[in-house]
Amino acid sequence: MTIITIESDSEQKIQMLLKYIEEIGLSAKKEEHRVLTAADMVTGIGRKATDRELMEYLLKGETSEKVDISVAFAKYLD
């Protein structure tokens, strides 16, 4: 089995592709891409998140500035 992912912002093009796929005897399903939030991770989104959605969520903190642990907990160390 081969899975192909197609990204498009055009609903018309998606519908044309789905119709063509059906005509040639293949199966297809349409899934919306969602940018996951912390709330989504806690409460769920009603379906299994795609690998792409999960990686996008997990990597979005990669570019943020890191805080040293001693600085973050300094007020509790007195």
Q: pLDDT per residue over 50-64, tens digit each?
A: 888 898 898 887 767
Instruction: For residues 52 and 72, state if they share a domain.
Output: yes
Instruction: For residues 46 and 63, state if they share a domain.
Output: yes
Among 3-7, 25-29, 62-66, 74-78, which stretch is predicted with the lowest mean pLDDT?
62-66
Range among 2-6, 63-67, 68-72 rated most confident:
68-72
How many domains, in total, are found in the chain? Answer: 2
Instruction: For residues 26 and 40, state if they share a domain.
Output: no
pLDDT given for residue 22 in this prediction? 92
Q: What is the pTM of this model?
A: 0.46
Instruction: For residues 37 and 61, state if they share a domain.
Output: yes
**Residue ranges making up the domain that contains 75:** 33-78
Instruction: For residues 39 and 26, state if they share a domain.
Output: no
Instruction: For residues 46 and 75, state if they share a domain.
Output: yes
CB 53 within 8 A of CB 36: yes
Q: Strand, helix or coil at 26?
A: coil
Instruction: For residues 59 and 71, state if they share a domain.
Output: yes
Higher pLDDT, 68 or 13: 13
Q: How far apart are CA 45 and CA 37, in angstroms?
A: 10
